[in-house]
Structure 1
Amino acid sequence: MKITVIGAGAIGGNLASKLSTAGHEVQVADARGPEAVRAEVLESGARAVALNESVQDRDVIVLSIPFGVAGQLADLFASVPDETVVIDTSNYYPGMLSEPIEAVDNGQVESVYTAELLGRPVIKAWNAALAETQRTRGVPAGTPGRIAIPVAGDSDEARKVAMSLVDDTGFDPYDAGPLADSWRQQPNGPAYCTELTLDELPAALAAADRVKDTAVRDSLPERFAALPDNPTVDDVVEMNRAAHR
């Protein structure tokens, strides 16, 4: 497939590299320009391009940009065909990674808000796994204990495309239903960054509680401060799991 990843940070860089390794034709764009794309992101064959050239003639566009800034790309996306699948990987951390956003604080689902800013539907995927989990713990399909990643969206066909790409990056895709239900995979619910298998993930999504999960999200600085110096991925995953025991 012809794929563009917009955003060359930890998640975007991982996805560009892994999807290129899987055989897709991958472009990477960054608001700071092609020169901002790290060399290691391109080692598997992905190509750095200018942002204003990145969205034409693409099957899939992956947004790995900070939450709340998708509106800055609305004009760029105005000419993107309806059949192009757009995948949102962002998460809302008010006061930590973004300014508070009243609509989301009042209950609007994160990716529904992103879709409104962008002016087109999106699929929610790859948001519920740590960047380091995605970089180091992807394994071939059928491997025992393979980590699952939820995928939500309103188009059955677009959701299937995203699920296929999740599989290509080394994780079991789980159909998490419509975008309105994607709050269940937002920070910091039982399914968020807890490295669950395909058998375990459905119960975790079902156990999500918007009030409790928001409180867990907002307590992250205190919980993270209680971890050892230089915490490992396992330390962070255990911290997230412990918040829901």
Structure 2
Amino acid sequence: MSAPNHDGSFSTSSPHSIAIIGAGPVGVALAKRLVKAGHTVCLSNSRGPDTLRQQERETGAKSADVKQAIAEAEIIVLAIPTGNISAFYPILRATSLRPGSILLDACNYYPSRDGRVEELDKGLPDSVWISQNVSVPVVKAFNNIIAANIFTSARTKRSAGRVALPVSADDTAALDIVMALVEDVGFDAYNAGKLADTWRYQPGQPAYCTEPSAEQLPRLLARADRDQGPANRDKAREWIDKLPADFPPDILLRVARLSNGLDKWNVRSWFAATVFAFALLRASMKG
């Protein structure tokens, strides 16, 4: 049996060399959890390793330029705005990668932030779009959880309140590796099918940022509405953009769960909804 990590969790897979492209909230939270799980993690961004010293100290990961990071990695995590992904493709194609490398897509498309991408606006799931532009297997994971909660919501196996996260891929071996990785960092991994199915947990869908249990997640995925998703996404983004940058993630989570039919009888959920509504009202009055 694997030795326990110092936070009490057990590694379910062999340690991997992981490059995270993007050192924003998602990249940093993932780096912290992956380092805790015993993996070797490298952070990189478009501005170079000298801009990542604080993130190195915070996460325990090392930093490197993008080409060096992806050349040494078994798993490449893409955690950047979708609008910046196209600039990454030439770097990926020009770099000699390790055999069997995997690209883990943790990104989400928000037109108001990323600009319009015609293929995505026509309904192509973003992970499918990425897979059409790279030569390595793509796996979708870690995109449907609030960035800060990647670290704070992780739980040991069989703990009460453990969150289930969907994982999708067209390559079975790559899927298995990332499923084990999700388990490593403190979540129940759920096989959500092929990349073509990932629209079911993109922004605007019931499984997005609601942190369901393993029992709840399949029901939320089944309720996904492909036609209504983009409108829901854009409305939610409009609201979030009005809130202060330090608005509590716990309030956002409770509101997302309540609005998708979870925790309807929980008093704290309705309190969170009230706090959220008043925050939007104050923002509107200031505007």
TM-score higher than 0.5: yes
2:195 pairs with one of 159, 176, 179: 179
Say which SS state the counterpart of residue 208 (structure 2) adopts: coil
**Cα distance, 1:25–1:228 mapped onto 2, change above 3 Å:** closer
1:101 matched residue in structure 2 = 117
- Which range moves more in the overlay, 178-187 or 159-168? 159-168
Q: Deviations over 1:134-174 (max 9, x none)?
A: 12111111111101111111011101111111112211111
| Inter-partner Cα distance in structure 2 for 1:127 and 1:176 | 13
Equivalent pair of 2:23/2:55 in contact (CA under 8 Å): no
Matches within 5 A, 1:161-240: 161-224=177-240, 231-240=247-256
Indicate the RMSD between aligned Cα atoms, in angstroms.
Answer: 2.1
Equivalent pair of 1:42/1:48 in contact (CA under 8 Å): no
1:58 matched residue in structure 2 = 73
Q: How many percent identity over aligned positions?
A: 36
**Cα distance, 1:219–1:84 mapped onto 2, change above 3 Å:** same
Letter in 2 for 1:88: D
Q: Does 1:70 align with 2:85?
A: yes
Matches within 5 A, 1:115-154: 115-154=131-170
1:85 matched residue in structure 2 = 102
**Cα distance, 1:74–1:141 mapped onto 2, change above 3 Å:** same
The normalised TM-score by structure 1 is 0.91
Shift of 1:40: 4.3
Equivalent pair of 2:82/2:108 in contact (CA under 8 Å): yes
Letter in 1 for 2:188: D
- Which range moves more in the overlay, 228-237 or 206-215? 228-237
Higher CA-based Rg = 2
| Inter-partner Cα distance in structure 2 for 1:53 and 1:82 | 15
2:42 matched residue in structure 1 = 27
**Cα distance, 1:129–1:241 mapped onto 2, change above 3 Å:** same
Shift of 1:2: 0.9
| Inter-partner Cα distance in structure 2 for 1:44 and 1:129 | 19
Say which SS state the counterpart of residue 82 (structure 2) adopts: coil
The normalised TM-score by structure 2 is 0.79
1:160 matched residue in structure 2 = 176
Gaps of 5+ in 1: none
Shift of 1:39: 2.0
